[in-house]
Amino acid sequence: MDAINNIVNFFSSPFFRFLLVLIRVFFVVLWVSIVFWTYRDAKNRGTMAVYWSIVTLVFPLLGLLIYLVVRPPELLEETKERDLEIKAKESSLARSGVVCPACMKPVESEFLICPYCLKKLKKACSECEHALRLNWTICPYCQTSQ
């Protein structure tokens, strides 16, 4: 009987009430931090930040879980950076690559004919078999007249 009285006294003590207040404060701070984090993350990802913060305000854990499932996988900065990298690589490929004058498809500089449209791009040297431009009259590799 004494043990039961001790337990009842503990639950009615000021210390226990203080613990309950601390737990409530902790959950309120957690709730506000979830709302703030959701707002900031949604804004960085380019989604409706106010909408998602209201959803997590009304439904704290469920709203956060739904947001985590449907949020975009990339931040706006990552998307912009990826697009810039793609454009940079495309422009470097366009500058450095040789294209067929007939079909405009990429070909290597040593190709004699285009593998796509079969247009003659270069001629082979009769001696050393290097690829030569069509208007060359001498091979610059072996000095053979063409």
DSSP run (H or E) holding 124: strand 122-124
Cα of first residue to Cα of last residue in the chain, in angstroms, is 117
The overall pTM is greater than 0.85: no
Residue 95's pLDDT band (cuts 50, 70, 90):
low
Two tokens, residue 49: 């930040």
Mean pLDDT over residues 42-60, rounded?
Answer: 96
Residue 130's pLDDT band (cuts 50, 70, 90):
confident
Q: Can you tell me the distance from the alpha carbon of 119 to that of 122, in angstroms, rounded to the nearest whole number?
A: 9
Pairing state of beta strands 98-99 and 106-107?
Answer: antiparallel
133 neighbors 112 (Cβ within 8 angstroms): no
